[in-house]
Structure 1
Amino acid sequence: MMDKFSSSNRTINQDVNVYTCGSEQCAPNHTYGPTVRSGYMVYFVLSGKGVYQVRDHTYHLHQGQGFLIEPQTLIMVKADRNDPWKYLWIGFSGQSAEKYLTATALNSHDPLFSFTANSPLLDSAHAVIQAAKVQENRNLAMTGKLFEFLYTLCQTHPRLSTDAAASTTELVEYALFYISQNFGDDISVAQIAEALHIDRSYLHRLFKRVTGQSPQAYIKSYRMQQACELLTTTALPISVVARAVGYGSQFSFSKAFRSVEGIAPREWRLREASRPQTNQIHPVED
């Protein structure tokens, strides 16, 4: 059984998506390849034996073992003649696929892993395949189960060594994501540090080292960027724009905006409106 979803899922879910999944009981000596795949694939050997060839390496695999296939990498898989394998696979791609896999122990130098019959990872792989059978909102069902699968892969086969620099960057990336999702609320550096389970002063040092700005300065700058976008592309009153970017009053917003942009929000809007634009939206004044 095999399902392919590349035509729809890759367009809708650019972050990460299921583009193929399924299972197969192979015939003796059944061979796939040499070939390359466009995305990542994780295989689970459910029974029998077979061979996986990649980068001049030949791996002889059996029940309870799995392997990773990387994009645009020449591979070949072949079932055993006397005890052909049965396997299932989850294939995924997307802008963040590589990033998610770097949190695991699987890589081009060590593409193998082990699992048990009652493994949570195997259960989550089955769940992805089951989601492919859903009729309504199938794309959402598969994507949700794919995230669970990737999370379980990270938990059951975590990266064995931690690069301090990569870990630092990852923490700051999480902080940046948190700000992008919550800038419209009354967020603080302490709240961000709590969400990341690290000390506030430690977050401050990391953030400034990576971005060159303090968290407070970045939050303010990010809010002003979003405000400029709203002032330019919508007709929302300035008081509404202020609330949308996390300011409780129009006065405090205008003061912050002027400190960053050098002019008041209304002046910014008038200046931008005077520039040649297509589909220009005329503002509603407060």
Structure 2
Amino acid sequence: MEQTYSVASNPVYYEEQSLHVLFAGESQTPPLHQVGPKIYDYFLLHCIETGAGAFRTEQRTYELGPGDCFLIQPGQLVSYVSDLAQPWKYRWAAFSGTDAGRLVREAGFSPEQPVAACGDRSVIPEALAGIMKTFYAGRESGHLTSLGLLYLTLGEASEMLKDHSRLPGKDSQVKRTVKQMIHYMSSQYAHPISIEQMCKGLGYNRAYLSRIFKEDTGLSPVTYLLKLRIDKSRQLLRERPELSVEQVAASVGLTDALYFSRQFKRFCGQSPTAYRAVTARQQDH
């Protein structure tokens, strides 16, 4: 098997960047090819395409194969060596920045959990190859492209690194699903979404989602979404006096201003116009 090695660096570098991909590369290693023991001053993520090898930290050794990823953290003493019979081919990307540590923690990586088994259908090798190709092109826009591909990479890795230990089994899944629903509504309330669309997007039956959501929050998804929209509209009525009631309604995803006014009075006990007048007088005093 012929040994290969290539690497491409980001043509743009910014001081004090919140997140920055430094370089990306690929290599078909020879048998028993070893790197380290050594430390790095940046994050370095590897993804194995073919073959096998071992990744060693100060705590333990991981035997890895195709689809496995391992993340080296700054200041961590590590070494890694390819297999004798089936030396690995891998891709990698190095990144740094003030937000890098938070990002890898959100993905689920830690010094105690540096490995993610993403499988042979993973898009990570393609994403890392995309970073390398982008850097070879030498365009300044490659900096932004590389960040998108890095987020894609860590996003997929996080699917394999989710911590299910806080809640056992079914309860854990229910809590995560309810959180997904709340996040969906909180980010999409300004659009004319429906609960049916949300259920379809999350891949669950509406009756099931409605039941677990009400058990967890005390409100049905329909009521929760409507209350969220009314709460947002109250803020707009207070802070944006130049907006009409129709514009406020549209801004919270309710295109029927009459329906909005009825629901606003149902939750707040007064019309949007009256609410705005009262809050304006209070602010004047």
Structure with larger RCO (C-alpha < 8 A, sep 6+)? 2
Which secondary structure does the structure 2 equivalent of 1:77 belong to? strand
- Structure 1 pair 231–160 and aligned structure 2 pair: CA distance change class (3 A): closer
Residues of 1 paired with 2:88 and 2:249: CA distance? 61
Match of 2:252 among 245, 257, 271: 245
Question: 1:182 is matched with which residue?
Answer: 188
Question: 2:55 is matched with which residue?
Answer: 52
- How far residue 29 of structure 1 moved from its aligned partner, in angstroms, is 6.4
Residues of 2 paired with 1:204 and 1:46: CA distance? 42
Residues of 1 paired with 2:51 and 2:122: CA distance? 18
Q: Which amino acid aligns with 1:145?
A: L
Report if the CA contact (8 A) 1:10-1:94 is conserved: no
Q: Indicate yes or no: 2:221 matched with 1:215.
A: yes
Which secondary structure does the structure 2 equivalent of 1:187 belong to? coil
- Structure 1 pair 166–239 and aligned structure 2 pair: CA distance change class (3 A): same
Match of 1:68 among 67, 70, 77: 70
Report if the CA contact (8 A) 1:18-1:146 is conserved: no
Alignment of 1:1-286 (within 5 A): 1=7, 3=9, 11=18, 19-23=21-25, 31=36, 33-34=38-39, 41-44=44-47, 52-59=55-62, 66-69=68-71, 74-77=76-79, 88-91=91-94, 93=100, 97-101=104-108, 108=112, 111=115, 113=117, 120-133=123-136, 135-150=139-154, 153=157, 163-234=169-240, 235-274=242-281
Q: Could you give the per-residue CA deviations for residues 213-254 of structure 1, whole angstroms, max 9, x where no partner exists?
A: 210111011101221232223221111111222323323212
- Structure 1 pair 45–171 and aligned structure 2 pair: CA distance change class (3 A): closer
- How far residue 60 of structure 1 moved from its aligned partner, in angstroms, is 6.7
Q: Could you give the per-residue CA deviations for residues 11-38 of structure 1, whole angstroms, max 9, x where no partner exists?
A: 4xxxxx6644423779x8653634675x
- Structure 1 pair 196–251 and aligned structure 2 pair: CA distance change class (3 A): same
Unmatched runs of 5 consecutive residues or more in structure 2: 1-6
Q: Could you give the per-residue CA deviations for residues 73-120 of structure 1, whole angstroms, max 9, x where no partner exists?
A: 83322668x9x9885323564766545458xxx99457265877x975
Residues of 1 paired with 2:277 and 2:136: CA distance? 53
Q: Which amino acid aligns with 2:148?
A: G
TM-score by length of 2: 0.67
CA root-mean-square deviation: 4.6
Q: Which amino acid aligns with 1:173?
A: K
> Could you tell me the percent identity over the aligned residues?
20
TM-score by length of 1: 0.67
Unmatched runs of 5 consecutive residues or more in structure 1: 12-16, 278-286
Q: Which amino acid aligns with 2:269?
A: G
- Structure 1 pair 126–227 and aligned structure 2 pair: CA distance change class (3 A): same
Which secondary structure does the structure 2 equivalent of 1:198 belong to? coil
- How far residue 206 of structure 1 moved from its aligned partner, in angstroms, is 1.7
Q: Which amino acid aligns with 1:75?
A: L
- Structure 1 pair 113–195 and aligned structure 2 pair: CA distance change class (3 A): closer
Residues of 2 paired with 1:45 and 1:209: CA distance? 43
